[in-house]
Amino acid sequence: MADLRYAVTGIGNAIVDVLSHADDDFLSTHSLAKGHMTLIDAATAERLYGDMGPGVESSGGSAANTLAGIAGLGIEASFIGKVHADDLGRIFAHDIRAMGVDFPTAAANDGPPTALCLILVTPDAQRTMNTYLGACVELGPEDVDEAVIAASAVTYLEGYLWDPPRAKEAFLKAVRVAHENGRKVSLSLSDGFCVERHRDEFKDLVVNHVDILFANEQEIMALYQVDEFDAALQAVRGHCEVAALTRSERGSVIVAGDEVHVIDAEPVAQLVDSTGAGDLYAAGFLAGMAQDRNLHDCGRMGSIAAAEVVSHLGARPEADLKSLIAERLD
């Protein structure tokens, strides 16, 4: 078996976020699905951007945010995702490397520009995301280095990868290589609409391939088509080794065989922008696993990291997560 080089390698869409404040009227005028991620084409992106207020740009992408958080906790991490060789692509590459994440994927010189997510943050701190996938559609299995996956204790995948067609092949290749090498596979279900789009395939993944699952309440209920959180919890129980289910201000529930942990949400002084909450929960959780912590403490680390990211605009941690964890947990 290859030596372990990374605790976690993530594969995801490489996206730069454009964050802007908006009110509920703006969402309804533009028929935007509040709290969700909607895929948009280049023309829609241009139109929506033109109508939006002034923005702040910040590197994003669900799995990329998670990996940035993991590296911020001092854990060896790498990320696979496709940008174009343009200004935004350079910003994305700089930011993830500056967090300490290895980012080996070559930027595309042809094809569409770097992906953008136009995010409207409403006064209730909810985020509504509109993603133009751009260069992400260029990600394919050739970008997945088998040696890297073989050398990663966990390969972490975002469900959003199911949207760009060739990324799915990259995803499945990574799953195969990870398991052939006795490594773990972790998946985030990403978004309720995303689960609706790909339910059957996601269900097959969860039942047959995923060791560590992350999902919020809405996503796990959409997966099993049930109306009660508890029914979804019982369903996922036998399907994955570990499932960490997040419930916003109600904290999270972790199930692992017979073990169940109910973790409180970490108090947040001022809820500013929920973008990245789930991503950073996964970051804290996986970092905890890499440090061989018990599941309760993994969950607490997830809550602490999530609480940091919702206290400011943007989906990447601004504070020193290591000190925060040391202060609140250790």
Q: Could you say whether residue 267 binds a second copy (CB under 8 A)?
A: no
Total residues in contact with a second copy, by rule CB under 8 A: 29
Q: Could you say whether residue 68 binds a second copy (CB under 8 A)?
A: yes
Q: Could you say whether residue 10 binds a second copy (CB under 8 A)?
A: no
| Minimum distance, C-beta of residue 43 to a second copy, in the bound complex (Å) | 15
Q: Could you say whether residue 62 binds a second copy (CB under 8 A)?
A: no
Which residue in the set 3, 31, 43, 50 belongs to the binding site for a second copy (CB under 8 A)?
50
Which residue in the set 49, 199, 211, 239 belongs to the binding site for a second copy (CB under 8 A)?
49
Q: Could you say whether residue 45 binds a second copy (CB under 8 A)?
A: no
| Minimum distance, C-beta of residue 149 to a second copy, in the bound complex (Å) | 25
Which residue in the set 47, 53, 180, 322 belongs to the binding site for a second copy (CB under 8 A)?
53
Name the residue among 12, 171, 184, 169 with its Cα closest to residue 105: 12
Which residue in the set 70, 77, 88, 213 belongs to the binding site for a second copy (CB under 8 A)?
88
User: Among residues 109 and 208, whose Cβ is nearest to a second copy?
Assistant: 109
Residue 26: φ, ψ to 5°: -60, -45
SS (H, E, C) the chain: CCCCCEEEEEECCCEEEEEEECCHHHHHHCCCCCCCEEECCHHHHHHHHHHCCCCEEEECCHHHHHHHHHHHCCCCEEEECCCECCHHHHHHHHHHHHCCCECCCCCECCCCCCEEEEEEECCCCCEEEEEECHHHHHCCHHHCCHHHHHCEEEEEEEHHHHCCHHHHHHHHHHHHHHHHCCCEEEEECCCHHHHHHCHHHHHHHHHHCCCEEEEEHHHHHHHHCCCCHHHHHHHHHCCCCEEEEECHHHCEEEEECCEEEEECCCCCCCCCCCCCHHHHHHHHHHHHHHCCCCHHHHHHHHHHHHHHHCCCCCCCCCCCHHHHHHHHCC
Which range binds a second copy by CB under 8 A, 15-23, 159-167, 278-286, 294-302? 15-23
Q: Could you say whether residue 322 binds a second copy (CB under 8 A)?
A: no
Q: Could you say whether residue 87 binds a second copy (CB under 8 A)?
A: yes
Binding mask 296-315 for a second copy (x = CB under 8 A): ----------------xxx-
Question: Any idea which residue has 């207020």 for tokens?
Answer: 53
Which range binds a second copy by CB under 8 A, 36-44, 82-90, 167-175, 223-231? 82-90
Which range binds a second copy by CB under 8 A, 55-63, 137-145, 186-194, 257-265? 55-63
The greatest distance separating any two alpha carbons of the chain, rounded to the nearest whole angstrom, comes to: 56
Which residue in the set 2, 5, 86, 125 belongs to the binding site for a second copy (CB under 8 A)?
86
Which range binds a second copy by CB under 8 A, 91-99, 104-112, 126-134, 165-173? 91-99
Residues that bind a second copy (CB under 8 A): 18, 20-21, 49-50, 52-59, 68, 86-88, 91, 94-96, 98-99, 113, 312-314, 316, 318
